[in-house]
Amino acid sequence: MADSKEVNLGSVQETLLLPLWGRAIETQKEKPLLVDNKAVSIIQNIPYDFARISKNINKLILAAWIARSMFFDKKIKSFIDRFPDAAIVNLGCGLDTTFDRVDNGKIQWIDLDLPDSIELRKKYISESERRRFISCSVLDTNWYSEIKNAKNVMLMLAGVIYYFDENEVKKLFNDIINFLPGAEIIFDHCSIRGMNISNKKVIDKGGMDKSAYLKWGIDNIYDIEKWNIGIKVLSNMPMYHEFKMNYPVFKRLGFNISDSLKIMSLAHVKINS
C-alpha cells in the first residue's frame, strides 16, 4: 500500500477515509449486512495506508459506520419512494457512495464538500447528468441556489455535524429554514459523552490529528426544536437500535451499553415551511 502522504487532505477531511474503509471491510465479509462494491474499489486503488486504522479502530465504531449507512439508505429509499424525482444533497460527502446504493434512475443528487475532498472524490467517482459535485463549505449559502427550484429535498449529513460548534450548527439549520422550507434532514449525532469517547477511540487511536476532534454533542436532540419553530424532530433512535438485531443476543452487549448511554444516535428532522 502506498504511503498516506500521497493523499493530501486536511485533518478533518482525512476522517472521510474511515467510514469508506469500514464499508469496504463489511462488504468483503462472508455475510455482509451492507454491500458497497464502490467502496471496495476505491480502497483497493487509493494511495493510503489503512494499516493503522485496521489495527486500532474499535469494533463498535466500525459497526456504527455500517449502522449509519443502513439507516441512511433506508430513509432515502423511503423518501424517493414517495418522491421519485426528489433532490438529495449529501452535505460533507467525502468519499461517500450512498448514491450507488439507492439510485432509482430518476433522482437528482448533489455531493458537496470542501475543495480538497471534492478534488480527491473526482479521481474515483464520476459526475453525471443526475449527479453533480459542488466544492464549498456546508456552511456556505451559495449552494442553495443549485436546488432552489426542487420541490422535494432531503439533506443527509453523515459524520459531519459533529465537526461544527453549536453556533455553526444553529446557523446551518437556520439557513436550511430560510432557503429550503419543507426539506427533510437525516444525520447522526452524539451525546457529550459520545463526543469525548469518539475523540479518544477514533481520532487518537486512528492516528488522526487532534484538530480533527469532534466539537458538538447534544444529550437531547429534541432541544434543537427550541432553536427555531421551523425545526421538527420526526424521529430519533440510538445508533445500534435496529442494527444490533442482526447479531445473536450474546454479541449485543457492546451495542446495548452504547445505546443505553445514548453515545451515538440517528435523527430525522423536517423543516416546516
Domain at 178, CATH number: 3.40.50.150
The per-residue pLDDT for range 217-247, each reduced to its tens digit, is: 999 999 999 999 999 999 999 999 999 999 9
Mean pLDDT of the chain: 89
Task: Give the integer Cα–Cα distance in Å for 144 and 178.
Answer: 10
- 106, 105, 69, 104: which is closest to 90 by C-alpha? 69
- Identity of the amino acid at 101: R
Q: How many domains does the chain have?
A: 1
pLDDT tops 70 at residue 188: yes
- Its domain, for residue 25, covers 4-271
Q: What pLDDT, on the 0 to 100 scale, is given for residue 107?
A: 97
Per-residue confidence band for 6, with pLDDT thresholds at 50, 70 and 90: low
Per-residue confidence band for 3, with pLDDT thresholds at 50, 70 and 90: very low
The per-residue pLDDT for range 140-152, each reduced to its tens digit, is: 999 999 987 888 9
pLDDT tops 70 at residue 84: yes
**Residues 6+ away with beta carbon under 8 Å from 225:** 231, 232, 233
